[in-house]
Chains A and B, each alone.
Chain A
Amino acid sequence: MLGRLLQVVASRWFRLVLVTLLVLSLQTTLFSEIRPFGYSVQLIAIYVAVAGAVHDARVGAIVGLVSGLMYDAVLATPLGISGLVLGAVGSGAALLLQPFRDPTWWLRILAVSVAAALGEVLLPLAKAVVGLGGWLTARVAVVALVTFVGGLVFCTPLIPVTRWTLRERVSIGRR
C-alpha cells in the first residue's frame, strides 16, 4: 500500500499536478496584475504548449486537459472548457513541430507561441459553442497577439521546467 502510494507520489503525473498548481498560482496573482495593454498574458497556455512542444502530442494533450480543468476550477467558466481548449493547445504545439525532424530552438519557441495564441482564439469559440457568447470580438486578435509575444518571452524559461516535470519514462498505467 505504502509502496504503491510512494510510486504515485514519485510519478511524473503527480509532479505535473504540483507544478501546474504553482504555474496556476502565478497566473492568478502576478500575471493577472501585470497586464500589457490591459490584457493578461496566459502563462498557463504557454506552459501547456511548451509541454507539447518538448514532448509529444499525447503528453501535451494530457498536460493541457489537466491544467485546463484546474484553471476552470479557479475561474467562473464552466468546468471543462479550458480543459478541452488547453488540451488542443498542448497537442497542437506538438503537431506544429511534427513535420520537422529536429526542430531548432527558435522554431520550437515559434510553435509554442503560435499554439498558445491559437488557444486564446479557441477559448471564446468554445464558450460560444456552449452558449456563452459575446467574447468573439476584435479584441480576440489583440489577446492572441499579447499571448504570442508572451510565448516568445516565457517559452525559454518554461522548457527546463516542463522537462523536469515530465522527465520520468514510466507512463500511465505501468506497474
Chain B
Amino acid sequence: MAQGKTNLTRAVLLLALASVFLITLDLGDSNSTSRVRRLFDTVFAPVENVSRVVTRPLSDAWNSFRAYDDVVAENNRLKEQVALQEGAAVAAAASVRLSQELLALNGLPTLAGINSVTAQVIGETPSNFSQTVEINQGSNSGIKVGMPVLNAAGLIGKVTEVFADRALVMLLSDPDYALSVKVVTKSSRTPVTLPPLPTEDAPTVDSVLDSSQTSTTSSTTTTTTTILGFTPTVTTIPAEIISGGGSNITVPIASQLSVRETGILEGRGPGSQPIVRFLDATTRAEAIEVGAPIVSAGGSRSLAPPDIVIGVVSRVVERLGTAGPVLEVELVADLSNLSFLRVLLYQPITETGR
C-alpha cells in the first residue's frame, strides 16, 4: 500500500515536471511540441468526429431553443440590409477593381495576386480563455502556421496550429494576437478652391500626386510622374469643367490626401474591442476621426499583406505625456458568427519553418 502511494507520488512529480518542461519547449516555438500535437490529433480526430456526429442533435436542439427568435429577427434585418447594400456593392466593386489596377500598375502587392483556400468553421474553442475557431482545411490544402484568415467582411485572424485536414485560427480578439495596421485619417488642412478661369489661362496645379511630379494643364492633360513602373498616359478632362462656366474648381493638394498612421492592433478578449496602440507619439488624437478605416499595414515582417480591411475606429482615447493616443476598433467581421472563411496562402517571413 505504502509502495503504491510512493509510486503515485513519483508519477505526479514526473508528470508535473514533464508539464513544466513542455511549457518551456512550447514557448520556445519548438517543433517537437507541434509534432506531439499532430500525433495526438491523429488519435483524437476520429473520436472527436464520432462525438460530433452523435452530439449534433443535442447541440442543434440547444441552438434552436436558444437562438430561434434572434435568427428570425436577424434574417429580417439582413434582408433589408442586403437590399440597401446591393447598389453600394456595385460601386464598391468598381472602386476595388480600379484600386487593384492602380496597385498592379505601380508594381505594388495586391490581394488579387495571392491564392487562397476556402474553409468552413467546424468548431469553436472549448476553452473560455482562448479565442480560436477550428476550420476544416489543413496542411493537405497548403495551409501553414501564420497565414492570415479572412471572411467576406475582412480580416478575422491567423492560423496558429495546422493538422492534416484541419487547422486552428486565432481570432483578432485574442489577447495574444498583434498585427501592424494603418489608420487612414484625413488631413486637417483645408482644400484649395480655385476661381473659374478661361481655358487659355489655365494654370498648372498640384494634383493628387506631388506637385513636383505631376503637372495638369488645360482641357487636355498630360501627366508625368517619376513613380517606378507607372506609365503616364494622356488624360482628357471634359471641357465644361474648366471652361470658365462660373463654377469653382476644388483641387486636392498633396497634403490633403489621406494620412496613414501606423500602429499595432492588439486583441483584448471576447466582449472587448481590440485596440491600436504605439501610434506615433506626435499623432494628435484630434487628427484621428471616429469611423476612420483601419487596414493591415503589410511589410516584409508583417503577419498579413497590406490593405486588408480590419475595422473602423470606434473611440479615440488620448493619453497624457508623450504616449500617443489609443484607438478602440470596431471590427468589420462579426467574430461571434463565423461560417465560411478564406485562408490567404501567404506565410509571413516571421512564421516560416513552422
Q: With A134-B268, A172-B8 as known contacts, state yes or no: A80 contacts B43, CB within 8 Å.
A: no
Q: List 18 A-B contacts (CB under 8 A).
A: A29-B48, A33-B55, A40-B125, A40-B128, A65-B16, A69-B19, A69-B22, A73-B44, A76-B160, A77-B129, A79-B33, A83-B16, A83-B19, A134-B176, A134-B268, A172-B4, A173-B4, A173-B11
Q: Are A84 and B37 touching (Cβ within 8 A)?
A: no
Size band of the A side of the interface?
A: 35 or more
Set of chain A residues within 8 Å of B267, measured between Cβ atoms? 134
List residues of chain B with CB under 8 Å of any chain A CB: 3-5, 7-12, 15-16, 18-23, 25-27, 33, 36-37, 40-41, 43-44, 47-48, 50-52, 55, 58-59, 62-63, 123-130, 132, 160-161, 168, 170, 175-176, 267-272
Q: With A58-B12, A124-B129, A132-B176 as known contacts, state yes or no: A33 contacts B59, CB within 8 Å.
A: yes
Distance A174 CA – B8 CA, assembled complex (angstroms):
11
For window 63-97 of A, CB contacts with B under 8 Å fall at: 65-66, 68-70, 72-81, 83-84, 87, 91
Q: Which residue of chain A has its CB nearest to the CB of B336?
A: A38
Q: Are B19 and A28 touching (Cβ within 8 A)?
A: no
Q: Nearest chain A CB to B48's CB is how many angstroms away? A: 5
Q: Are A74 and B175 touching (Cβ within 8 A)?
A: no
For window 132-155 of A, CB contacts with B under 8 Å fall at: 132-135, 137, 139, 143
Distance A66 CA – B127 CA, assembled complex (angstroms):
17
Q: With A66-B15, A174-B7 as known contacts, state yes or no: A80 contacts B40, CB within 8 Å.
A: no
List residues of chain A with CB under 8 Å of any chain B CB: 21-22, 24-34, 38-40, 42, 58-59, 61-62, 65-66, 68-70, 72-81, 83-84, 87, 91, 120, 123-124, 127, 130-135, 137, 139, 143, 171-174
Q: Are A22 and B47 touching (Cβ within 8 A)?
A: yes
Q: Which residue of chain A has its CB nearest to the CB of B52?
A: A29
Set of chain B residues within 8 Å of A34, measured between Cβ atoms? 58-59, 62
Residue among A21, A69, A80, A133 with the highest chain B CB neighbour number at 10 A = A80
Q: Are A32 and B126 touching (Cβ within 8 A)?
A: yes
Set of chain B residues within 8 Å of A143, measured between Cβ atoms? 128-129
Q: Nearest chain B CB to A121's CB is how many angstroms away? A: 11
